[in-house]
């Protein structure tokens, strides 16, 4: 094997290692999705109601606070409907890469594969883009409200027995794909009016008491947030009582 070929192979291996260590985390420890989910660290990821991902380091606070602080423009600790909708509109402008005033199918695909790839499945036997992650069932835990009847539905659904899927694993609402869900006309063209209407519906579900504002303390915990808390508690027990857990 000549020197040029060896150099090329080494460079390729280094690039692959960099992507694996620095890129977004897909699921819990790899594509297979098997094994004990409390022994592998869940991604410290929050996906806002509009669909924007917020990531934090493994030992940092859960990043829902990052989203809330960004959306709460006057920093009074209350997220009003107007601020909630303005936050969604700002993310719409980020997604509208060609600035033509709509989010088209290519921009939705870019969102799903580049901006928030964690919403795609990590289920054994499935390839990227097939299905959703059903690993974080609600069981007997607190159930969060949800909207939508599928990845591309604009319909409204409240809390029920369906397990969290896709972005619902990381979000306040069990909505598998919050960007595509705004396409109520099913024409692969999401307008600002549709995105704003989706934000309005989501705010109404989260503001269940009709206060006209949300606070960080009263927001429901996401499924992955609850899982991270269980993992942290388990690690604390193991440190206090080493060797007592299999």
Whether pLDDT at 52 is above 50: yes
Average pLDDT over residues 181-191: 96
Whether pLDDT at 33 is above 60: no
Total-model pTM? 0.71
Average pLDDT over residues 163-169: 92
Angle (nearest 5°) at CA 140 between 134 and 143: 70
From CA 224, how far away is CA 137, in angstroms rounded? 10
Average pLDDT over residues 103-116: 97
> Which pLDDT value is given to residue 93?
98
Q: Where are the domains of the chain?
A: 38-232
> Which pLDDT value is given to residue 171?
97
Distance (Å) of CA 166 to CA 17, 145, 177: 26, 15, 7
Tokens 């890469």 map to which residue?
Answer: 97
- 229 is written with which tokens? 């808390």
From CA 106, how far away is CA 110, in angstroms rounded? 6
% pLDDT > 70, the chain: 65
% pLDDT > 90, the chain: 58
Tokens 């809330």 map to which residue?
Answer: 68
Whether pLDDT at 136 is above 50: no
> Which pLDDT value is given to residue 244?
60
> Which pLDDT value is given to residue 122?
59
> Which pLDDT value is given to residue 166?
93
Average pLDDT over residues 46-54: 98
Residue closest to 170 by CA, chosen among 6, 54, 84: 54
Q: Identify the burial level of 213 via C-beta atoms within 10 angstroms of its C-beta, where 0-12 means exposed, 13-18 middle and 19 or more buried.
A: middle
> Which pLDDT value is given to residue 217?
96
Judged by phi (left if over 0) then psi (alpha if -120 to 50, else beta), residue 42 lies in beta
> Which pLDDT value is given to residue 239?
85
Find the distance separating the first CA and the last CA of the chain, reported in whole Å: 47
Residue 199 main-chain phi, psi, to 5 deg: -60, -40
For the segment 63-86, what is each residue's pLDDT rounded down to a tens digit? Answer: 999 999 999 999 999 999 999 999
> Which pLDDT value is given to residue 245?
52
């Amino acid at each position: 094997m000549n020197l040029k070929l060896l150099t090329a192979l080494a460079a390729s291996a280094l690039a692959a290692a960099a992507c694996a260590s620095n890129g977004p985390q897909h699921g819990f420890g790899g594509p297979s999705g098997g094994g004990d989910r409390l022994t592998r660290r869940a991604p410290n990821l929050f996906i806002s109601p509009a669909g924007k991902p917020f990531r934090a380091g493994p030992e940092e606070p859960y990043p829902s606070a990052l989203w809330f602080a960004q959306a709460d423009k006057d920093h009074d600790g209350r997220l009003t409907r107007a601020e909630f909708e303005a936050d969604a509109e700002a993310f719409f402008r980020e997604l509208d890469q060609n600035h033509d005033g709509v989010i088209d199918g290519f921009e939705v695909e870019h969102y799903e594969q580049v901006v928030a790839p964690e919403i795609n499945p990590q289920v054994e036997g499935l390839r990227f883009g097939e299905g959703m992650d059903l690993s974080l069932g609600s069981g007997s835990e607190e159930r969060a409200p949800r909207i939508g009847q599928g990845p591309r539905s604009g319909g409204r659904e409240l809390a029920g027995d369906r397990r969290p899927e896709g972005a619902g694993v990381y979000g306040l609402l069990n909505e598998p794909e919050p960007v595509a869900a705004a396409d109520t006309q099913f024409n692969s063209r999401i307008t600002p009016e549709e995105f704003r209407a989706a934000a309005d519906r989501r705010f109404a579900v989260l503001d269940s008491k009709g206060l006209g504002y949300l606070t960080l303390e009263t927001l429901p915990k996401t499924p992955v947030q609850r899982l991270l808390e269980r993992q942290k508690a388990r690690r604390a027990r193991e440190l206090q009582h080493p060797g007592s857990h299999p």
